[in-house]
């Protein structure tokens, strides 16, 4: 596993350590939502973890770096191999970021309808892209990656984020402990979206070791065809091998329209310029909060804002 961000020495005479981009993974801020929650009782708090503070600009920096480091340690990734995986965007950007810094080639299968900003950023980082059928979503990208590695297994290290346990384990050793410390152990509910499911699996498992009563809430699109990039509608998708549906106490379906509405409100009312999956996450957290308010129960709810909105600026919903 990887180390969390080290502190600079406190003595003025000491030289600062030689830091690399990899040191800026983890220890992201946790902020309390204020205006979106003003209709709730004061005893109910919603806190959001700002994951665009990671190197690479999203929460995917955590699993990407862990997957790369573990593959190196096991001799699976070296200068003679190309890192290959399927991605909807953010994981690919994280792979490309750290691979560029470490000198690896990267090939990514990504749906053709991924935002133009993501495609340009991946190419700027030097990734080779294989664009897949937009109607098949992330599942089509997964099938293409499997086809490529089957045809030429010696060429690739297939990172396989959907089935690689180093995905969820990254959150077990970083995201979960950070949330526990940042809430001083007061967290009562953790709400996380389902894509690879790594964030929910790793964070939820860690929180359960610290506080068995913590409620784990998963959320996913409410329909098979949706506009929530990075999230999966599990009943109709290729289910990730790392996903354990028994971990969550509750599962919430979120509509694309509701997620877009909250994404706009996060920017205009909280000053949080986020991606669409962050809007979906806050939708879920608000739903949980409303249910608890009706029961008269206090709560400290934490959710994840996976990335910022810069990679979605071409989407029309910002001006609608």
Q: Which domains does the chain have, with CATH numbers?
A: 21-58+170-319 (3.40.50.1100), 61-158 (3.40.50.1100)
State phi, psi for 33 to the nearest 5 degrees.
-70, 140
Can you tell me the mean pLDDT for 207-220? 98
Of these residues, 58, 144, 277, 311, which one is catalytic?
277
Cα–Cα distance list, 83 to 6, 80, 109 (Å): 28, 10, 11
Cα–Cα distance, 42 to 100 (Å, whole number) = 46
Are the beta carbons of 58 and 24 closer than 8 angstroms?
A: no
Are the beta carbons of 305 and 274 closer than 8 angstroms?
A: yes
* Higher local confidence (pLDDT), 13 or 39: 39
State phi, psi for 161 to the nearest 5 degrees.
-55, -25
> pLDDT grade, residue 16 (50/70/90)?
low
Question: Does the active-site annotation cover 60?
Answer: yes
Cα–Cα distance list, 8 to 84, 178, 220 (Å): 35, 19, 40
| pLDDT tens per residue, range 215-257 | 999 999 999 989 898 899 999 999 999 999 999 999 999 999 9
Cα–Cα distance, 313 to 264 (Å, whole number) = 12
Question: What is the per-residue pLDDT for 290?
Answer: 97
Residue identified by tokens 């804002």 is 305
Six-digit token pair at 301? 């709810």
Q: H/E element holding 120?
A: helix 116-124
**pTM of the predicted model, to two decimals?**
0.92
Q: How do the residues of the chain divide into helix, strand and coil, expressed in percent and rounded to 5? A: 40, 20, 40
Question: Does the active-site annotation cover 144?
Answer: no
- Return the top range by mean pLDDT from 7-21, 160-174, 306-320: 160-174
Question: What is the per-residue pLDDT for 3?
Answer: 43
Cα–Cα distance, 305 to 50 (Å, whole number) = 5
Question: What is the per-residue pLDDT for 15?
Answer: 60
Angle at 257 between CA 129 and CA 52, to 5 degrees: 50
Residue identified by tokens 């897949």 is 132
| pLDDT tens per residue, range 253-307 | 999 999 999 999 999 999 999 999 999 999 999 999 999 999 999 999 999 999 9
Of these residues, 49, 58, 60, 197, which one is catalytic?
60
Question: What is the per-residue pLDDT for 196?
Answer: 95
DSSP code of 17?
P
* Alpha-carbon torsion (305, 84, 169, 23), positive or negative: negative
Cα–Cα distance, 12 to 227 (Å, whole number) = 51
| pLDDT tens per residue, range 38-50 | 999 999 999 999 9
């Amino acid at each position: 596993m990887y180390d969390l961000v080290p502190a600079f020495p406190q003595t003025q005479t000491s030289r600062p350590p030689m830091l690399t981009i990899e040191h800026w993974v983890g220890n992201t801020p946790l902020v309390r939502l204020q205006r979106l929650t003003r209709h709730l009782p004061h005893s109910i708090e919603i806190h959001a973890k700002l994951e665009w503070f990671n190197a690479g600009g999203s929460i995917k920096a955590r699993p990407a770096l862990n997957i790369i480091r573990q593959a190196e340690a096991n001799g699976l990734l070296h200068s003679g191999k190309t890192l290959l995986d399927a991605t909807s965007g953010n994981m690919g950007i994280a792979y490309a970021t750290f691979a560029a810094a470490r000198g690896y080639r990267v090939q990514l299968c990504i749906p053709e309808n991924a935002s133009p900003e993501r495609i340009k950023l991946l190419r700027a980082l030097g990734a080779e892209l294989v664009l897949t059928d937009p109607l098949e979503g992330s599942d089509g990208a997964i099938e293409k990656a499997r086809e490529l590695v089957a045809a030429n297994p010696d060429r690739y290290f297939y990172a396989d984020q959907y089935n690689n346990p180093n995905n969820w384990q990254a959150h077990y050793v970083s995201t979960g402990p950070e949330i526990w410390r940042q809430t001083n152990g007061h967290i009562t509910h953790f709400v996380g979206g389902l894509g690879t499911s790594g964030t929910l699996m790793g964070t939820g498992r860690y929180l359960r070791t610290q506080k068995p009563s913590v409620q784990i809430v998963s959320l996913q699109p409410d329909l098979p065809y949706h506009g929530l990039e990075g999230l999966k509608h599990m009943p109709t998708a290729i289910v990730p091998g790392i996903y354990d549906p028994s971990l969550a106490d509750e599962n919430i379906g979120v509509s694309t329209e509701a997620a877009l509405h909250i994404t706009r409100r996060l920017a205009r009312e909280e000053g949080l310029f986020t991606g669409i999956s962050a809007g979906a996450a806050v939708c879920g957290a608000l739903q949980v909060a409303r249910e608890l308010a009706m029961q008269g129960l206090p709560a400290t709810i934490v959710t994840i804002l996976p990335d910022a909105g810069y990679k979605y600026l071409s989407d029309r919903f910002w001006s609608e």
